[in-house]
Amino acid sequence: MSAPTSEGSRFTVSQTRQAELRGDCANCFGLCCVALPFAKSADFAVNKSSGDPCRNLQEDFRCGIHTRLRDSGFPGCTVYDCFGAGQRVSQVTFGGVSWREAPDTARQMYEVFPVMRQLHELLRYLTEARALAATRGLHAELDRALARVTALTEGTPAELERLDVAPVRAEVNPLLLRSSSLVRAAVGGKPKSRRGADLIGARLRGAKLRGADLRGALLIAADLSGADLSLADLIGADLRGADLSGADLTGALFLTQPQLNAARGDTATRLPEGFERPAHWTR
């Protein structure tokens, strides 16, 4: 086991493991640009049906407007992460043979991709929980859960296509809840609980939310500037358009890069270790 990181509450996760759970477009067949549908809106400039390649997808499976997605009317693409499912399906499940090379596999590949994405999201959360020093007493259970979910990702295309992830998620969620509680207990007192709360547009400037339970909270366009969100549980929280300028997210639990990409922030926003400051944030 590696030594705790500078945050004092986590163990180092190997770079290999981190890479496996992050999208690697260079090794994917553009699956999110083909398999997933989207509707013309503030997030997407056009309508697209599932199975239809995005008009911006090039022959090499790269996005032709990747560096200017927001300016071209596709900000929704900038807040999406497959958690490494794309390269897993492309290079492992389907053996590196693309839907263009083998059109007869296309439909199944498109069905498998969102299933794999859900499994990789669970692996992402379980891996984080396993790296927390406070969850030491749960490490054996977390290891078993990681092994079970990992085994599911190794299924055949047919097995993955049939897989119902909901029961798997139901098994994992209580373990993640217990992990969260153990970490947030260090805050002392009774941490605030706003789980699933409708906080759309809420004025939470400078709010003291250290160790708060914000699982699934709707924080769309909320003013969280200068707020203390350290050690807060943000799993599934909707941060689209939320203002995180000057906010402290140090040690925030189950935060993902897509959540940050969907929000607004600045150079004063304190991020957990391992996260990238979104390019569209103010400097």
pLDDT of residue 8: 39
Torsions phi, psi for 169 (to 5 deg) = -60, -40
Q: What is the DSSP string of 13-75?
A: PPHHHHHHTS--GGGS-SGGGTTS-B-SSSS-SS-B-TTSPPTTB-TTS-BTTGGGTTTTT-H
CATH class, domain 190-283, is mainly beta
pLDDT of residue 217: 97
Q: Would you kindly state where each structural domain of the chain is located, as residue ranges?
A: 15-184, 190-283
Distance between CA atoms of residues 201 and 241, nearest Å: 9
Per-position pLDDT tens, the chain of length 283: 333 343 435 555 555 667 789 889 999 999 999 999 999 998 899 999 999 999 999 999 999 998 899 889 998 898 888 999 999 999 999 999 999 999 999 999 999 999 999 999 999 999 999 999 999 999 999 999 999 999 999 999 999 999 999 999 999 999 999 999 999 998 988 878 999 999 999 999 999 999 999 999 999 999 999 999 999 999 999 999 999 999 999 999 999 999 999 999 999 999 998 899 998 897 6
pLDDT of residue 16: 63
Please report the beta strands in the chain, taking only residues with DSSP state E, as ranges in sequence order: none
pLDDT of residue 9: 56
Q: Is 101 exposed, middle or buried (0-12, 13-18, 19+ CB in 10 A)?
A: exposed
3-state secondary structure of 80: coil
pLDDT of residue 274: 86
35 closest CA partner among 21, 49, 55: 49
